[in-house]
Amino acid sequence: MNCSAVRVRISGQVQGVGFRPFVYNLACRLGLRGEVANSPAGVELVIEGDESGLTRFQQLLWDELPPMALIEQLNSEPVPLSYFDSFKILPSAKGEVSITATPDAAVCPDCLAELFNPSDRRYLYPFINCTNCGPRYSLIKALPYDRTNTTMSAFDLCTACLSEYNDPADRRFHAQPNACPDCGPGLSFTDEKGHFVKTGELHDESLIAAATLIRAGKIVAVKGVGGFHLICDARNADAVVRLRQQKQRPDKPFALLGLNTESLNTVVQLDDNRRQRLQAQDAPVLLCPWQKETSLDTENRDLIASGLNWCGVMLPHSPLHFLLLHQLCGRPEASDWLESEQQPLLVMTSANRSGNPLITDNQQALIELRGIADGFLLHNRDIHIRCDDSVVNGLSDSMPIVRRGRGLAPQVIQLPQSGPSVLATGAFFKNTICVTKGDKAYVSQYIGDLDNPDCCHSLSEMVNHLIQLLDVVPQQVVCDQHPDFFSSLFARQFAERHDLPLQSVQHHHAHIAAVMAEHQLSGAVLGLALDGLGLGDCDQLWGGELLRVDGRGTERTGRLSSLLLPGGDKAAAEPWRVAAGMLYQSGQSDEIDKRFHYAGVATVKQMLNQHINCPQTSSAGRLFDGVAALLGLCSINSYEAQAAMQLESAALSYVEQYGWPECEPLLSAGVATDVAADSSTIDSADMTLTELNLATLLTTLSEIEDPLYGAALFHRQFIDGLGCWVFDTVQASGINRVVLAGGCFLNQLLLRGLTEQLELNGIEVFSAGKIPCNDGGISLGQAQVALQLSLPANRQNSNY
Amino acid sequence: MAHGSGGKAMAQLIDELFLQAFSNPWLDKMNDQACFSLPAGRVVMATDSHVISPLFFPGGDIGSLSVHGTVNDVAMSGAVPKYLSAGFILEEGFALSSLKQLVESMAHAAEAAGVAIVTGDTKVVERGKGDGCFITTTGVGVVPEGLNISGDQVAVGDKILVSGTLGDHGVAIMSLREGLSFETTIESDSQSLQDLVAAMVEVVPDISCMRDPTRGGLAATLNEIAQSAGVGMQIYEAQIPVKPQVSAACEFLGLDPLYVANEGKLIAFCPADQAEQLLAVMREHPKGRDAAIIGDVTEDSLKFVQMETTFGGKRMVDWINGEQLPRIC
Ligand SMILES: [Fe+3]
Ligand SMILES: [Mg+2]
Ligand SMILES: [Zn+2]
Ligand SMILES: [Zn+2]
């Protein structure tokens, strides 16, 4: 037989995901010989055998890849024969492990089958997992990813588990969280006062207790993979009302948990695309349109996502959640029930008091959730790294990520360039941090809003954790331009303490750079940032900007015309104030107190008249808020972006029923008049600052009676107006690549509409996909800008 | 009020005005300095320049304010304020009648605070180079035996107290300046606190630190102390006294009362086991009637000042560089 040998080097997410046993089993199946080992870059293997076997091997390597593995790069080269007599997995030596930490993954089909197989030794065991599934990132204290470096180190493997762990042919070979009822973690249940409920068969009794409470319309705190959830019966209106009251969360939508896509399809519209996304291993919350006729009462529907025509849904992501549903379904036997439609539908919301980080610790849960939860379903596998549920927008085919958390963190982004390690500390809301190593950026999970002290502590811990995990020493620090964010303060202190250079990056520049990083764009682009608020040059409040961005920096070429914010930040919480500013600007001050009957309305009028604490802004986010209030859709935000979401929802409803409203263009772009305060960071600036004038549109909207029509008209006009404006700027600048960035692009009508428009005109359009388009992506953008600016000058022909 | 030639007569007039209003054995000697002896103890000195528009406001004027500000700075060390100096910068054209009113108000304030204005100076600047009237005062006082009150004395476990409602002064000034009308007139809390302090240190000499939360309000003051003492602080929104009308005005205007200036309130830190006693003394005193224990000094590597909101959430009460910039993203 004609034998030959190849060496294959693979990088990517290939450690701790059962990659070596997969290779071992594949080689054995094909009768090939050789060896495989972990390497600093990933995995390296040498394989010998006949030509056809080798070809087949390299084919099946891709086809049968373990579910959690991700190959980024694969190089193979012929090598001389070593005449191996078998195939071996070599143990990994220290220093041979790559830096990749793998995200947590939902339970795999094999484990699920075992979970409900009465003859399996892990029958109904809530902590079943294997190399293809289970917790990862949330357990990791340090790398290399070994059991001793995880919170599983508290449990000694029993003989049976140990032999699985050591057997290369086993699905649990080197599965670090491997466990069974004899040796692994267990469940417990306490009542609302934190008293342990005495139980015989612990797992069963705890689950029964939790299910009993849920059935009775109570609220149960359940410790999941990345933190605690509060769970109640979504079909019980009283229970949902109580949860809202207890959590002091009047309107913010809740996510729903159903056993399978069949069950969820009775409430939201699931096409194949959405089904697949729900069933992926990151098991995110997916935003989907409500069914026209849902199996939920209308009352409950409104309680869950008031004013919105979509809802977040998710499938169980851990064996524990399957077992809870199993109880609620009346403990059906065999496994048919898993495939068929089931009645139980649960509200599943992260367990924390408003604004505080997700709770991960049993003791903390018992204290902080006292008075909210009626019972606690606990376990003793510690959560080291907090991870909220990830959120994905299923309203659009591209399914962009809204929030990166469990299953998606840590995220590795391949950057368009390499450079010295950067630490980027993000913005204020939805904070994430980012650390780069070489040409890769590691973006942390969603940390939270930095008006909360615990989230600030989390940020500080996350920096240490990520640096340690990646084993890097940052060479520079980068933060937002706003001096008062904790992230900026932290960056200043970190840079001082470690004697590192610090730079700040303008908020919207960072938004655009994040998309550029994700798509590996270098060279010049035109960026349209439609966002909430970010501090621009000269302390201006930006948020609707056209920026020219390249490796050397940014130049502002256009902006939305100004809105007024009576009361500053207060206007973000109370969209009626923005609407009052719009009415004032269009000479309709009289209308203000006719439309809005809040206690402060007289003062707000006076503030507008006398320019007291009424900063100007070009923010698109505030535009959406103000229009929603102007149309009477939402005057006060009880959660972030409520008004904007209700405006989008109203437009969707109108368009679905009647199509887009037709009307002559109400927006026009022109040269901005008051440009004195505007500055640029590129000295070759010869473009004029343009402005998209909103006045006519806003006056028209203020006279519209039907809010749904108004919402649709606003969207149509805004999209068309932006389209023309951007097109003109493309023409003038000769830059044909446009990046759409900023939180407003969570609005799928806007994103889709504008993308279509621009593409029709032959413009190349890029938007966020892997990284949220909102402030969750800022840290990546900051890192990207810092890296580019740190490149040697000759590679940029600039004077930086 | 005239400047330059012909101003000489005017200067004399002003001097007489001061002499009359502030009359005391030191000033009456008409030397270029005041010569006095002080009781035993450590001597405390503080100075403050007062610039405020408008000069007259509900609850006070720049005259009384310039006495209260410096008297309070001296008193925050636990000292008994004794003597003041006063320097005036007057703008050409400033009405003599207004000046007379201010000076009389200063004299009253000094008398009430038990201090003598023993030396002073006046300059008149050209029209347009001043805002009517600026007053700089310097105060001297003596700390009684056994007191050691200072920012670095603050320790983990201490309780945090305030002597009364917050934000009155800043909101009163802003309302007047901008011509904002609210249902009830909000008055400045401008007052001297030396008598309240004396009562407090007599009963609880172990007070760690006192401050008057003037510019930047409670938030700035707590952050300053947290930084200098290397501790964290936890305050409770529900415990912080704010007048309903001040709270409503702040709500309308988009201001946070924790960041608004006060001119007649103090913050005190003391060991937890003496906090109730201190609170009782404060509440007995007319200037501390609304006093409250508002929080605790905590251990915190990041030296955060944080607040538990009335909804049970937590919020940073953070440091702000200069003016409050909107930051909602
Ligand atoms: Fe933003
Ligand atoms: Mg002072
Ligand atoms: Zn599995
Ligand atoms: Zn075991």
Using pLDDT thresholds of 50, 70 and 90, give the confidence band for residue A673. Answer: confident
Q: Look over chain A and give the mean of its residue pLDDT values, rounded to a whole number.
A: 91
CA dist., res. A562 & res. A689, Å (int): 14
DSSP 3-state assignment of A235?
coil
Are B107 and B117 spatial neighbours (Cβ–Cβ below 8 Å)?
yes
pLDDT at B328 > cutoff 90: no
Residues of A annotated as catalytic are: 20, 38
| Residues in a beta bridge with B121 | B87
Percent of chain A having pLDDT more than 90? 77
Q: Are residues A367 and A225 in the same domain?
A: yes
Are B169 and B190 in contact, with CB atoms under 8 Å apart? yes
Per-residue model confidence as pLDDT tens digits over A282-313: 999 999 999 998 889 989 999 999 889 999 99
Same structural domain, A432 and A288 = no
Point out the ligand nearest to the CA of residue A171: 3
At residue A676, the pLDDT reads 45
Task: List chain B residues with CB under 8 Å of A624.
Answer: none
CA of A158 to the centre of ligand 3 (A): 19
Among the bound ligands, the one closest to the CA of A108:
3
Listing DSSP states for A305-364 in one string gives: STT-SEEEEE---SHHHHHHHHHHTT---SSGGGTS----EEEEEE-SSTTSPPP--HHH
Which chain A residues have a beta carbon less than 8 Å from that of B318?
A: 484, 486, 489
pLDDT value at position A196? 75
Cα–Cα dist A354/A251, whole Å: 13
Do A381 and A439 lie in a common domain? no
All residues at 6 or more sequence positions from A711 whose CB lies less than 8 Å from its CB, including other chains: A627, A628, A631, A633, A647, A648, A650, A651, A654
> Which of B253, B320, B328 is nearest residue A603 as measured by Cβ atoms?
B253
Dist. CA A23 → ligand 4 center (Å): 25
Q: In whole angstroms, what separates CA A98 from the centre of its chain?
A: 24
Tokens 């973000």: give the residue. A572
- Check whether residue A417 and residue A375 sit in a common domain: no
Could you tell me if A457 and A577 lie in one domain?
Answer: no
Report the b/e string of B110-139 with b at 16+ CB within 10 A: bebbebbbbbbebebeeeeebebbbbbbbb
Distance (Å) from CA B85 to ligand 2 centroid: 15
ipTM confidence:
0.90
Same fold, B7-143 and B151-316: no
Q: Residue A327 corresponds to which tokens in the numbers above?
A: 């109880």
- Regarding whether A347 and A264 lie in a shared domain, the answer is yes
The DSSP 8-state label assigned to residue A432 in this structure reads: -
Residues A638 and A688 occupy one common structural domain: yes
Say whether pLDDT at A799 is over 90. no
The answer on pLDDT for A466 being more than 50 is yes
Is A448 inside any structural domain? yes
pLDDT of A274 above 50: yes
Within a domain: A284: yes
> In angstroms, rounded to a whole number, what is the distance separating the alpha carbons of residues A259 and A261?
7
C-alpha–C-alpha distance, residues B104 and B110, integer Å = 10
- Is the pLDDT at A792 greater than 70, yes or no? no
* Beta-carbon contacts below 8 Å between A and B: 117
C-beta of residue B162 within 8 angstroms of C-beta of residue B218: yes
From chain A, the residues in CB contact with B255 under 8 A are 613
Name the residue with higher pLDDT: A671 or A740. A740
Same domain, A437 and A325: no
* A518 contacts A771 by C-beta, under 8 angstroms: yes
Residue A796 binned pLDDT confidence (cut-offs 50, 70, 90): very low
- Contact across the interface for A599 and B311, Cβ inside 8 Å: no
- Asked if CATH classification 3.90.650.10 holds for the domain at B151-316, the reply, yes or no, is yes
Most A CBs within 10 Å: which of B222, B256, B327, as the mutation test of the A interface? Answer: B327
Average pLDDT of every residue of chain B: 92
Q: What percentage of residues in chain B have a pLDDT greater than 70?
A: 95
- d(CA A235, CA A294) in angstroms, rounded, equals 11
Residue-wise pLDDT for A612-661, tens only, equals 999 999 999 999 999 999 999 999 999 999 999 999 999 999 999 999 99
What pLDDT does A683 receive?
38
Q: What is the pLDDT of residues B83-137, one digit of tens each?
A: 999 999 999 999 999 999 999 999 999 999 999 999 999 999 999 888 899 999 9
Residue A108 has pLDDT above 50, yes or no: yes
A606 contacts on B by Cβ (under 8 Å): 178-181
Q: Residue A73: what pLDDT?
A: 87
The pLDDT of residue A498 is 97
pLDDT in tens, A9-25: 998 888 878 888 899 99
Measured CA to CA, the distance from residue A185 to residue A167 in angstroms comes to 22
Q: Does A563 share its domain with A469?
A: no
pLDDT for position B319: 75
The answer to whether the Cβ–Cβ distance between B319 and A615 falls below 8 Å is no
Q: Do A533 and B329 touch (CB under 8 A)?
A: yes
Q: What is the 3-state secondary structure (H, E, C) of A642-684?
A: HHHHHHHHHHHHHHHHHCCCCCCCCCEEEECCCCCCCCCCCCC
A664 part of a folded domain: yes
Distance CA A272, CA A264 (A): 13
Answer whether residue A154 is part of any domain: no
Q: What is the pLDDT of residue A98?
A: 58
Domain boundary residue, one of A718, A733, A748: A733
C-alpha–C-alpha distance, residues A262 and A322, integer Å: 15
| A383 plus A472 within the same structural domain | no
> Rounded to whole angstroms, how far apart are CA atoms B104 and A428?
50
The CATH number that applies at residue A214 is: 3.90.870.40
Residue A202: pLDDT over 90 = no
Closest by CA position to A133, among listed A80, A178, A93: A178
- How many domains are there within chain A? 4
Q: Quick check: helix, strand or coil at residue A440? A: strand
Give the ligand with the smallest distance to the CA of A159: 4
CB spacing of B311 vs A354 below 8 angstroms: yes
Chain B: closest CA distance from residue A245 (Å): 11
Range of the domain at A191: 187-393
Distance CA A451, CA A396 (A): 31
Asked if A252 has any chain B CB less than 8 Å from its own CB, the reply is no
Predicted confidence (pLDDT) per residue in A360-394, tens digit: 999 999 999 998 999 999 999 999 999 999 999 99
Domain ranges of chain B: 7-143, 151-316
Give the domain CATH number at A466. 3.30.420.360
* Confidence label for A90 from pLDDT (cuts 50, 70 and 90): confident
In terms of domains, do A323 and A414 share one? no
How close A139 comes to chain B (CA, Å)? Answer: 25
Examine residue A770 and state whether it is found in any structural domain, yes or no: no
CATH of domain B7-143: 3.30.1330.10
Same domain, residue pair A565 and A637: yes
User: Does pLDDT of A790 surpass 90?
Assistant: no
Shortest CA gap A575–chain B (Å): 13
Mean pLDDT score, A91-100:
62
